[in-house]
Amino acid sequence: MQTATATSAQPATRKAPRPRADALRNRERIVTAAREMFTELGPDVPLDDIARRAGVGNATVYRHFPDRDALVREVVCSVLDRTVLAGQAALAESGDAFAALERFVHASADERVSALCPMVSSTFDQHHPDLESARLRVERIIEEVMDRAKAAGQLRHDVGVGDVMIAVAQLSRPPAGTGCLSADRFVHRHLQMLLDGLRAPAPSVLPGTAMTMEDLRQA
């Protein structure tokens, strides 16, 4: 007697549909337009105006970003990720460790990180996983750039990652929407003055202790 063997049918695995190319392009155009307008006019710029600059309809904006917080978060994360790429390029393309630090600092200013970060207000989910992950990637690349310059004896050892981050933010942060673009001509001049002061050997002893990333988070 032949016994039939029962086999359980495995459910077919359904792959999530990949976004269409035109949808991805629209999303990138929205994020680019939002980044520009948030910097120029501040975080309260109407989403309708962002849609017009991006060349898409209002419904397209809301299809990608259900509310303003979602769009702001995407803009901040995209800028942080572009900053990470700038750091990676600086490390890969510059044989001089301090030159890599200089390149990274100036590139960070061009991304307007410091003008956008104040938009992460008290009503914004500062601990959203996407934002936390983007911040961590930035912290790691800054540490890598600085550690290489210190190991080469080119960066003074009494400065921490938090020192550089907060100094760069203060020097390159005209408030969004209040002359941010007109002040650009001074930003790189002031940043270079800061960078020259970071070179080793140090001409002086800094008061206090180096600012760590933990100090920066608590502040």
Please report, in tens digits, the pLDDT of each residue of the chain (219 residues total): 454 544 444 545 545 555 578 889 999 999 999 998 888 887 788 999 999 999 999 999 999 999 988 998 899 899 889 999 999 999 998 789 999 999 999 888 888 776 666 665 545 677 889 888 988 999 899 999 999 999 999 999 999 998 988 888 877 765 544 555 555 677 888 889 999 999 999 888 889 998 887 777 776
Q: What pLDDT score was predicted for residue 6?
A: 47
3-state secondary structure of 124: coil
Which structure tokens are listed for 99?
């030159």
Q: What pLDDT score was predicted for residue 214?
A: 78
Q: What pLDDT score was predicted for residue 17?
A: 55
Q: What pLDDT score was predicted for residue 81?
A: 92
CA distances from 187 to 102, 105, 114, 211 (A): 13, 11, 11, 22
Q: What pLDDT score was predicted for residue 152?
A: 94
CA distances from 33 to 2, 20, 55, 86 (A): 70, 20, 9, 21
DSSP letter for each residue of 134-171: HHHHHHHHHHHHHHHHHHTT-B-TT--HHHHHHHHHHH
Q: What pLDDT score was predicted for residue 7?
A: 46
Q: State the Cα–Cα distance between residues 74 and 86, nearest whole angstrom.
A: 18
Q: What pLDDT score was predicted for residue 147?
A: 95
pTM listed for this prediction: 0.76
Which structure tokens are listed for 208?
């206090």
Q: State the Cα–Cα distance between residues 67 and 48, nearest whole angstrom.
A: 12
